[in-house]
Amino acid sequence: MATEVVQVDEATEAEYENLQRSGFQVPPEPEIVEVETSNDRNDETSRPGRVYCRRLIQKVPPLLLKEKNNTEDYIPVAVSVGPYHHGKPELRLAEGFKPKALDLFVMGGGQNLEFCYDRVLEVIGEIKNCYEHPTGFYYSDHELARMMLLDACFIIIHMELSIPEPVPEPDMYRPQTLKEHKGLAMVQQLGALTLATVLRDLFLLENQIPFLVVKLLINWRYGNNEGELLLNRLVFESYFI
């Protein structure tokens, strides 16, 4: 995720406030950094300025995509994540698994699908502000919230699949765990070849969703402590990373 940096003066601040009053989706609490407007530290006329920073999931410049070889580095071939490549027919196999991933994620959580959807819808303004405009406005709030929910559940199920289970004692009977059931369902529907390509797609620049969505769902489903443990195990124990 890149960072957009904009110099903020009084006129820009007034414009920012007008956008908020008009209902335009802007970050509710912009990150303001004090800087000096002069590069000369001995310049007595230098004064503090204000810089507004906003993190964005950016699109690849079209110039880079004109080279055919470059598309392999930027275009997903197995799964779309986020709005930039959503709905492409060549990605329909993984798209068809996402509702199943949502069912598997909710399973055993004590809440229904509507509860998860409402939690994502509550932060839809923050989600929109993570994408280059007007991309985030091609979809209604409800369409984008559903997309985020399905994509996040797909990512979480893939995360769970990539983390090894503890090794059981020799000759000890152990029934299939819920996590193993989820992983088996993903392998059966996507196939080993597609599944091997999913991780590559999840790291592509344009193929992202805001981390706040994933973290929101993980913390709800597993609790803050277990959610943090899951993320840490993904980094240090994953089969795929």
Other beta carbons within 10 Å of 212: 15
Residue 20 domain boundaries: 2-56
Residues 73 and 154 in one domain: yes
User: 224 and 142 in one domain?
Assistant: yes
Compute and round to an integer the Cα radius of gyration of the chain: 21
188 lies in the same domain as 125: yes
DSSP letter for 64, please: H
Please check whether residues 52 and 78 belong to one and the same domain: no
Check residues 68 and 32 and name the one with the higher pLDDT: 68
pLDDT at 68 over 90: no
Place of tokens 């800087």: 35
Same domain, 127 and 203: yes
Looking at residue 100, its pLDDT comes to 93
Report residue 64's pLDDT band, with 50, 70 and 90 as the boundaries.
Answer: confident
Q: What is the pLDDT of residue 216?
A: 92
Q: Count CB atoms within 10 A of the CB of residue 29.
A: 5
Pair 233, 120 in one domain: yes
> Is 99 within 8 Å of 150 (Cβ atoms)?
yes
pLDDT tens, position by position, 105-132: 988 777 788 999 999 999 999 999 899 8
My answer on whether 79 and 182 are in the same domain is yes
Specify the DSSP element, H or E, that contains 33.
strand 31-36
Predicted confidence at residue 146, as pLDDT, reads 96
Q: What whole-number distance in Å separates Cα of residue 73 and Cα of residue 28?
A: 34
pLDDT per residue over 167-208, tens digit each?
444 444 444 556 667 778 888 888 888 888 998 999 999 999
> Are 204 and 184 found together in one domain?
yes
- Same domain (yes/no): 107, 27: no
Q: What are phi and psi of 145, to 5 degrees?
A: -65, -40
Domain final residue pick, 29, 56, 83: 56
Q: Are residues 102 and 27 in the same domain?
A: no
In 3D space, the residue among 205, 108, 201 whose CA is nearest the CA of residue 155 turns out to be: 201
- Give the Cα separation of 207 and 198 in Å (integer): 11
Q: How far apart are CA 110 and CA 218, in angstroms?
A: 14
Same structural domain, 226 and 187: yes
